[in-house]
Structure formats: structure tokens, C-alpha cells
Amino acid sequence: MLEMIRFNPRIWFLLGFLGCMSLLAMGAYFQFVDGLEPCPLCISQRIAILLTGLCFLIAALHNPQAAGIKIYAILGALIALCGGAISTRHVWLQHLPPDQVPECGPGLEYVFQNFPLSATIKLLLSGTGDCAEINWTLLGFSMPAWTLLAFLMLASLSVLQIWNTKQ
């Protein structure tokens, strides 16, 4: 069964890159067309998707041999799993009781202009009360839950390239 999907890893890395770009395009659609403003954790997840996509694009363009494929596969999986960790925190914040949700912080534009980079990164990775709001669902799952699933799929696709290399 798995032999039927054994393609050149370059193709799979390119498909992973296209998947990441599709996710970013969907995020842009929700932000600019539907008017859903991204919270700090949403922006962090977008950055992780972008980094995963860049890793996949570089791997596809480089077209490495077996050792290089393993390095790109592990790097892509690690980046995707870091994004998955951010998504997991986001889902966790959304399921907190209302009295345990962190307070809403200042807007990101204000934080970028008036706080040091370390404080801005901490805000981007820890989230605020804005991150606990659920503004969109599909089949009962919020956007961060779908993003978590996407990160797990990207990490799996990346790790499968180790198996996919020709011995």
C-alpha cells in the first residue's frame, strides 16, 4: 500500500510547501476578507507555517541525496512540531473556564513599537485573553484545532521522507 505513494522526496517537499502556502492564503483570506483579526498565537502559528514551508521549499529546490533528505525531514518535522506546540497552547487557552483566561493585553502594533523584542516574543508565544475567543469553527473544531491537525500532518509528511528515500 505504501509503495503506491513512494514518489521522489522532492515532489513531496514541494507538495508540503504548497500546503503551507495554502494555509497562509487561508489565513490571509480570513483576516482580509472575513475581517477576523489574528491574535498573538495566530501570528505565531503563521510564522511557524511560513518557516515549515520555507524548509520544504529549500529541500525541494536543493534536491539532496539521502543524508540531506533526512536532515531536511527532521528539520521540517521539528519546525512543524514547534508550531503544533503553539497550536496546542492556543486550543488549551480556548478551553479554559472564563475566570481562568488571561487578561487581554495591548495590541500587537503597540507592543512592537513600545516593548523590547524579548517581551514581544513572550507575548507572541504565551497568548492573551484575545487568544481564548473562538470566532470561527468547522465541524465543531476551532481554527487553532485545525491548524494543530495541519501541523501534525506536515510533521508526518516530513518524517515520512526518511522512509521515502531510496536506499
Per-position pLDDT tens, the chain of length 167:
455 556 788 888 899 999 999 999 999 999 899 888 888 788 889 999 999 999 999 999 988 888 888 899 999 999 999 999 989 988 888 877 777 666 656 566 666 677 677 776 776 666 665 676 778 778 988 889 999 999 999 999 898 888 777 65
User: Within 13 Å of residue 17, how many CA atoms lie on the same side as its CB?
Assistant: 15
Distances, alpha carbon 82 to alpha carbons 110, 148, 152, in Å: 26, 10, 10
Domains of the chain: 8-164 (1.20.1550.10)
Element counts in the chain: helices (H) and strands (E): 6, 2
**Any idea what DSSP says for residue 6?**
-
Set of cell numbers at residue 89? 497552547
Give me the sign of the Cα torsion angle 65, 150, 43, 88. negative
